[in-house]
Structure 1
Amino acid sequence: MTGHARISLAAWGATVLGSLVLTPVFSGPFLFISAFLCALITGVGVLLQNLRAPRVVVPVVQLIVLVELISVFFLKETLKFGLLPTGATAIEFNSQLVSAMNSINQYSAPLPPDDNLLLFATAVISATGLLIHVIAVQLRQAAWAGLLLLIMYTVPAATVHGGLPALLFIPPAIGYIVLLSAEGRSRLSRWGRRISGVSHLDAAEPVEASALGQAGRRIGLSVVALAALIPALLPTLPEGVIGNGLAGGGTGGTGLGASISTTDPMLDMGKNLKRGKNDVALTYKGGPSGGTYLRLTALDQFDGNTWRISDRQNRGRKIESELVPPPGFTNDLSRVPKVKMEIEINKVFRSQFAPIPYPTQSISLRRNWQYDATSLDVSSTDGAVVSGKKYNVTAYDLRPTEDQLRNATSRGAPDQITDRLPRNVPPEITDLTKRITAGAEGNKYAMAVALQKWFRTDGNYTYSTSNQRGSGMRAIKEFLIDNKTGYCEQFATGMALMARIAGIPSRVGIGFLPGQAGKDGQYTVRMHDMHAWPELYFEGVGWVRFEPTPASRVASTPDWTVPSSNPTSPTTAPTTAPTTPGQTEDPGIEKPENGRNLNDDNGAAAFDSGNWFTNGGARTIGIVALVVLVLLIPWILRSLNRRRRFSRSPSRIAAEGLWSEIRDTSRDLGLDWSEVATPRQTGEWLVTKLPDDAHPSALRLARTVEAMRYAGHADLATDLRPDAKVISKALWKQAPARRRWRGRLLPASWRWYLSRGTTEASDLLDEFDLLLARLRSTILRRRHAS
């Protein structure tokens, strides 16, 4: 194989391996299409070079071929005669790129399947492959191709929320090493056949000289190791670092509209509110009087950084007839009034969740849709979106009363997640929660009402979508304590966190406000009606929606969250009077006698603030201990090795081990131990470094090792451990204090063994080369014999 062909194939491989980093961002067959297009471009380049075309002609022809291939694959309708690109092709290509860039800027990864995004990903990878080929093959500067692979890496680094897996950086690193290796072999082959290595097996094949190949493989091993470690240590690039598209901000263009994925609905909602267009998301008819909230899903897991959907393995159920009853509701659902709705989703709203009221009894969506038995949300099973669909819903019109919520028995969370607090809750938030709920006298409903009132009025908070901090613990603390400015994400997550601190299970609902009423009872819901709210759990009633977002955004709160001035005593028998939507009494919910099941009167025991050890102290101790352990690794290994050597019974191996121990001790103390000197010469050198009383031991050890190595009549039963101990103690005693401490904490012999291990690892690669060469030689001999 010629040198340029080898480099061309390596450039293609580096491009394909580098494009693997885009798999967390894009979906669809972009990787296979890009690999195929890059293969065709590479083939054209190799063919032209074999025909000895001028160097400047090759990339021009490759570019023409790339434009033609992309046009045929994605822009066929704009081609003249179905083959020739025109001005309309360029305009359509730019339009689709603008839409794709807007989508990347607005929505979280993984992006939904779409032709615009497929074109963008394919064009980026193919163009990168062409540039890598030009730089590595035409310009013969393969090392600079790594910058292109790094640029490709910035796309997922800027869009994937939470960062990329560390191992995902290894394939581009391997591709880069392969490319460098191919170029190195090509350069060395110009100097003739190899001068060492496996020449006796196949001297006709020009490969790298052994020393250079060994050095290259060591570098390669180091690069792969760093590729695995560095991404795990470095933070992810800020979201939105790519920009707002090729033609303006995220609110312009003809993008995909709003997109809600199952990966991070909260992030998608924030981007839609801040930068998305206010298009119509859906319309609906029916439902309660005055409209209703439409929920997409609920975020029930909070790790201190992000509110997410918990693991749903084995929770999804096929939609057949009715959904399961709402979790936590313990009374007769047949007596609860129901409402029917007809919902139609606009094509610009791309969501893997179906907007529905909570709690839903039945839905007409069937094929490829499922519901979650815990959160009662409806999602697709194959990654499809709900855009353009029209479906009917029957929902329970649950409207709990103040008495029912005030007297709800507290039995903890219905799961293992919604009452869990992260370890890094700032004490300021805990103190603020206790101060706000102090007047509730431990009643969970009164606590929830006090928290809602604090956010809407008493706390002097301001609604603004300019808050870019998100919903992590630091962002919540800044919102609650410092600037008091945020939008529904901060209000919902802030109240949900404070509810958990107060001992109330909570989660965050994501969905839509009721929208704008129109003609014939139809409601129009737009993209900027997306909203987040806290859902709090009350035994016997279930999950109840609260509304902490101020009146400047949401005019009113649910009826059941506004207590009367003189709450009445609950009754145990439910009324049989009929109810209609909008009424405050629900006949289907029994009201328990006891409204509080608390550990004390003020409810403080519902949350244990812990102490210094539990609030971060244990983690600090663990980190310090881990750092100390890492720093002590050289000393531990050196001590274990010393103990092993002195524990051996007299033998040839034991003598060599003791000799090695004296060698390592000398190196640890900064003495110049010679690798090329004989044992006798080394013994004479040791005498010059030791006091007089240790001279006999040094000479005896050196002569015995010499005899065991070179004389067949050596006494193998001689115990040299006393002599080795005398020499070792004398060496340590003679050394300055500074060298003794450095020799213990950072022994130079340990670094020598580490270097030795690297050499042996590279030698293993040399052995692998030899094995491949032998196999190749065997195959060639058999081929010639046949």
Structure 2
Amino acid sequence: MTGHARISIAAWGATVLGSLVLTPVFSGPFLFISAFLCAIITGVGVLLQNLRAPRIVVPLVQLVVLVELLSLFFLKETMKFGLLPTGRTAIEFNSEMVSALNSINQYAAPLPPDSNLLLFATAVISATGLLIHVIAVQLRQAAWAGLLLLIMYTVPAATVHGGLPALLFIPPAIGYIVLLSAEGRTRLSRWGRRISGVSHLDAAEPVEASALGQAGRRIGLSVVALAALIPALIPALPEGVIGNGLAGGGVGGTGVGASISTTTPMLDMGKNLDRGVNDVALTYKGSPSGGVYLKLTALDQFDGNTWTISQRGPGQKIGNEPLSPPGLNRDASQVPKIKLEVDVSRVFRSAFAPVPYPTQTISLRRDWVYDKASSDVYSTGGQVVGGKKYTVTSYDVQPTEEQLSNAITRGAPDQFTSQVPRKVPQEIKDLTAQVTGNNTNKYAMAVALQQWFRSTGKYTYDLESKRGSGMNALRDFLIDNKSGYCEQFATGMALMARIAGIPSRVAIGFLPGQAGKDGQYTVRMHDMHAWPELYFEDTGWVRFEPTPAARVASAPGWTTPSTTPTNPTTAPTTAPTTPGESEDPGIQKPNNGRDLADDGGLALDSGNWFTNGGARTIGIIALVVLVLLIPWILRSLNRRRRFSRPPSRLGAEGLWSEIRDTSRDLGLDWSDVSTPRQSGEWLITKLPEEAHPSALRLARTIEAMRYAGAADVATDLRPDVTVISKALWKQATARRRWRARLLPPSWRWYLSRGTTEASDLLDEFDLLLARLRNTVLRRRHAG
């Protein structure tokens, strides 16, 4: 096999093994398709090189082949005559890639097996394989191909919640080793006859280990060891440091705590629910008994893959004048009000302010604006709501069954909330017709949908269910699985409401939280919730609650027909509970599906620096300092061990080594090849006169012990070594002394010694493999 063919095949293997790290992120047959495409590209490259094509032509032809293959596999309908890519192909490819990036931002890993995500993964892996081939074969710099493998690894490292399995490091490491070995073997073959490796002449016949095998095993051991050990030694970074930035959308943050971004609020909600630490998000006072829902934002646009926030206008500047709720056409002055005092924890990094709906006034000013369409309050100047205190007044709208039943539909309130994606499966449309039955009244259909999710449909609430609100995930939830958490229930009901002709959107915010003393409620990150809002004329956006009682005890009173309407001054009928607990709204200690510490109902101090990330910061700083002090610690322990030994031959050698290491730490050129007498004479030149007798006595004792064997091993040399050490330290400059304390150069000698010992063990392993090889060859010849 020619050298370039060997490296090409190794490059293909490295690409396939490296792409295994993407399996926690993408689903579907992306790995097999990518391996096939990369194999074809590799074959084209080998063929062209065998035909001695110009070096610059090979990658160009490979790129053309890659474009053709991707078009045939994924965009065939856009190709002319079914074979030639056109401008439409490029436009469709760009559209699919943009859609895939939106899905990556929206969904948590693993991503659904959508066609656009399959194209994205295949294109990225195939392009990476092409670049690895160019770097390793055309440019003959295989070592640099490892950067591309590292870039592939950063994708799951930044997006997979909870970290990656340690074994996932090994396939890319093996692929990189194979690639380096192939290139090394090709390079050495150009030099002529190879140099022999380690031999063992005591065997029955000479046994020789391959020099290439030795080098490959040493490189392999180093790469795998680094891949396995470094992630275990480096402290885990807070979620959001890599990948999803805090508060997203340009909103800054410190990297501590939880976040809700302006671009991916649904994904951020899922991450916050998954977080092991149930931080306090905020506290508030002034609500009716039972608390209130606090809304962050509303997702009104659904393209069949992702629920997003539609394009916003400039927003309404917040001032002293009341904010007008959309759709509320009755006399607002006659609607009861609720005034809350909200204190947001610093750990909650959000561009949205948690407010009850619909908001009338809020004390936030400057860069905070109100968006009338989505009814949320958000920052336009890069601020986050974490650490802020504000008062907010809201309308306590409690619509009656009669008001909602008699609502006259005059059209959608906007251009987004009535849109039904074209690729909605017929099964979901049929299910909607089945649930709503023969009802023509929008309120009756909405109530039927809510009841279907909460009871008659036999759905179950499960926080560990597969994430996702795209069309495939919704179909699986609605038709097959029937198990999910609030995201699936909210998006499922919102989509079915649109199919039934009711404008809808998905709100994201918080459940009322946990009641404490003096009417204060504590809301934690695990209280994050999603619910659908349906539009009814003269009332506006109305909250429904399809999530089962395992999460939310009861639905709003106005969504339960044929009952006495809830009095505006009475408690709302919603209160979060957990599986196995009573559905009594008066429960004071829900844990929202988590095993949380009991805080006795007291609100925690959300502004404490130590609890809001200070302890973690101190821990990271302490760990960094400890790592930096490792050379000093090792050197100090070694010095103490040497001086603690009683007079003996071993003790004398240890003290001699101590003088050697002290000399090196202080920048003196100690020679390893000199005899003890020569070293003693050299040492005298570096010491003041009063230390000369100690240096001579130490050198002569070591000389006699090594060569004459007649030295008095009971002689205690520690006083002499102490005199010599103090003299050497006194002679050195202040800069040298500080360097010797903080970063003693002598500690590197122990690393070198450990490397030598490891190399000796590898030599023995090489010889063992060589013996096994010779044994197998002898048996073959004998047979």
Is the TM value for this pair above 0.5? yes
Sort the Cα spacing of 1:510 and 1:146 in 2 relative to 1 into closer, same or farther, 3 A: same
In the alignment, structure 1 residue 509 sits paired with structure 2 residue 602: no
Structure 1 counterpart of 2:475 = 387
SS at match of 1:26: coil
Residue number among 350, 354, 357 corresponding to 2:450 in the alignment: 357
Between the aligned partners of 1:276 and 1:589, the Cα distance in structure 2 is 33
Q: Summarize the Cα distance change of 1:782–1:271 in structure 2 as closer, same or farther, 3 Å threshold.
A: farther
- Note the 1:672-691 alignment, pairs <5 A: 672-691=669-688
Distance in 1, Cα, partners of 2:19 & 2:689: 69
Contact 2:75/2:92 (8 A) holds in 1: no
Alignment map for 1:547-562 (pairs within 5 Å)? 562=568
Aligned residue for 1:727?
724
Superposition pairs for residues 563-712 of structure 1, below 5 Å? 563=569, 606-608=603-605, 618-619=615-616, 621-712=618-709
Distance in 1 (alpha carbons) for counterparts of 2:477 and 2:626? 59
**SS of the residue aligned with 2:450?**
coil
SS at match of 2:455: strand
How far apart are the structure 1 equivalents of 2:231 and 2:178?
A: 14
Q: Where does residue 160 of structure 1 map in the other structure?
A: 159
Cα deviation for residue 504 of structure 1 reads 4.2
- Distance change (3 Å), C-alpha of 1:181 and 1:228: farther
| Superposition map of 1:368-447 within 5 A | 371-372=460-461, 385-387=473-475
Code of the aligned partner of 1:502: Q
Moved more, 501-510 or 674-683: 501-510
Structure 1 unaligned regions, length at least 5: 244-257, 282-301, 308-344, 395-464, 466-486, 518-524, 548-557, 571-578, 580-587, 595-602
Structure 1: distance between partners of 2:616 and 2:739: 30
Match of 1:236 in 2: 242
Pick closer, same or farther for the CA change 1:692–1:50 going to 2, 3 Å. Answer: same
**CA 1:85–1:305 in structure 2 vs 1: closer, same or farther (change >3 Å)?**
farther
Query: Secondary structure at the residue paired with 1:28?
Result: coil
The verdict on how the C-alpha distance between 1:546 and 1:610 changes in structure 2, with shifts beyond 3 A counting, is farther
Q: Is the 8 A contact 2:450 2:546 kept in 1?
A: no
2-structure distance, mates of 1:750, 1:20: 39
Deviation at 1:653, TM superposition (A): 2.4
Question: CA deviation digits over 1:276-321, x for unaligned, max 9?
Answer: 549999xxxxxxxxxxxxxxxxxxxx994689xxxxxxxxxxxxxx
Cα deviation, 1:471-500, whole Å, max 9, x if unaligned, reads: xxxxxxxxxxxxxxxx954xx259769999
1:19-39 Cα shifts (integer Å, max 9, x gaps): 234334311121133224433
Map 1:145-294 to 2 at 5 A: 145-146=145-146, 148-149=148-149, 152=152, 160=159, 165=164, 172=172, 175-176=175-176, 178-198=178-198, 207=212, 235-237=241-243, 264=270, 273=299, 276-277=302-303
TM-score (norm 2): 0.56
- Counterpart amino acid of 2:637? L
Query: Do the aligned partners of residues 206 and 390 (structure 1) sit closer, same or farther apart at CA in structure 2, a change above 3 Å counting?
Result: closer
Question: 1:347 & 1:142 partners in 2: Cα distance?
Answer: 48
Residue 95 of structure 1 corresponds to which residue in structure 2?
92
| Contact 2:34-2:122 at 8 Å conserved across structures | yes
Equivalent positions of 1:714-753 (< 5 A) are 714-753=711-750
Q: 1:39 aligns to what?
A: 39
Q: Distance in 2 between matches of 1:546 and 1:732?
A: 83
**C-alpha distance 747-627 of structure 1, shift in aligned 2 (>3 A):** same
| 2:9 pairs with 1:9 | yes
User: What's the TM-score once normalised by structure 1's chain length?
Assistant: 0.55
The percentage of counterpart residues that share the same residue type is 59
Tell me the alpha carbon deviations over residues 514-558 of structure 1, each in whole angstroms, 9 at most, x when there is no partner: 2569xxxxxxx9xxx99999999999x9467699xxxxxxxxxx9
State the SS of the aligned residue for 2:740: helix
Q: What's the CA shift for 1:732?
A: 2.9
Q: 1:94 to 1:628 in 2, by over 3 A?
A: closer
CA contact (8 A) 1:184 1:208 kept: no
Instruction: Give the corresponding residue for 1:136.
Output: 136
- 1:742, distance to aligned residue in structure 2 (A): 2.9
17-26 vs 142-151, which moves further = 142-151
Preserved CA contact (<8 Å) 2:642 2:654: yes
User: In the aligned structure 1, how far is the partner of 2:640 from the partner of 2:48?
Assistant: 66
Deviations 1:227-279 (A, max 9, x none): 88889669424579x99xxxxxxxxxxxxxx9988993889999993875499
Three-state SS of the structure 2 residue aligned to 1:701 is helix
Rounded to whole Å, the distance in 2 between the matches of 1:530 and 1:123 is 44
CA spacing shift, 1:377–1:560, aligned 2, 3 Å: farther
Equivalent residue runs for 1:75-86 within 5 Å: 85-86=82-83
| Offset of residue 660 of structure 1 | 0.8
Q: Distance in 1 between matches of 2:126 and 2:38?
A: 6
**Contact 2:132 2:145 (8 Å CA) reproduced:** yes
**Alpha-carbon shift at residue 55 of structure 1 (Å):** 5.8
Q: What SS class does the counterpart of residue 722 from structure 1 fall into?
A: helix
Specify the SS of the correspondent of 2:193.
Answer: coil
From the superposition, tell whether residues 774 and 161 of structure 1 become closer, same or farther in structure 2 (CA, over 3 Å): closer
Distance 1:272 1:182 in 2: 55
Please give the secondary structure, in 1, of the residue aligned with 2:17.
helix
Asked whether the 8 Å contact 2:28–2:113 carries over to 1, the reply is: yes
SS of equivalent residue, structure 2 residue 727: helix
CA spacing shift, 1:124–1:279, aligned 2, 3 Å = closer
How far apart, CA to CA, are the structure 2 residues paired with 1:100 and 1:743?
56
How far apart are the structure 2 equivalents of 1:275 and 1:361? 25
Given the alignment of the two structures, is residue 120 of structure 1 paired with residue 100 of structure 2, yes or no? Answer: no
Whole-angstrom CA distance in 2 between matches of 1:271 and 1:181: 55
Contact 1:15 1:149 survives alignment (8 Å):
yes
C-alpha offsets along residues 713-742 of structure 1, whole Å, 9 cap, x if unaligned? 444444433332332233334434443333
Q: Tell me if structure 2 keeps the 8 A contact 1:546–1:561.
A: no
Number of residue pairs aligned between Structure 1 and Structure 2: 565
- Aligned partners of 1:280 and 1:346 also within 8 Å: no
Q: Cα offset for 1:121?
A: 1.9
In structure 2, do the counterparts of structure 1 residues 627 and 125 end up closer, same or farther at CA, with 3 Å as the change threshold? Answer: closer
More displaced 10-residue stretch of structure 1: 172-181 or 720-729? 172-181
Matched residue type, 2:569: P
CA contact (8 A) 2:33 2:122 kept: yes
Change (3 A) 1:112 1:636: same
Q: What is the letter of the counterpart of residue 273 of structure 1? A: L
1:767: how far off?
A: 5.2
3-state SS, counterpart of residue 685 of structure 2: helix
The alignment's C-alpha RMSD in Å is: 6.2
SS in structure 1 at match of 2:194: coil
The alpha carbon displacement at 1:127 in A equals 3.5
Instruction: Determine the structure 2 residue equivalent to 1:474.
Output: none
Q: CA deviation at 1:654?
A: 2.1
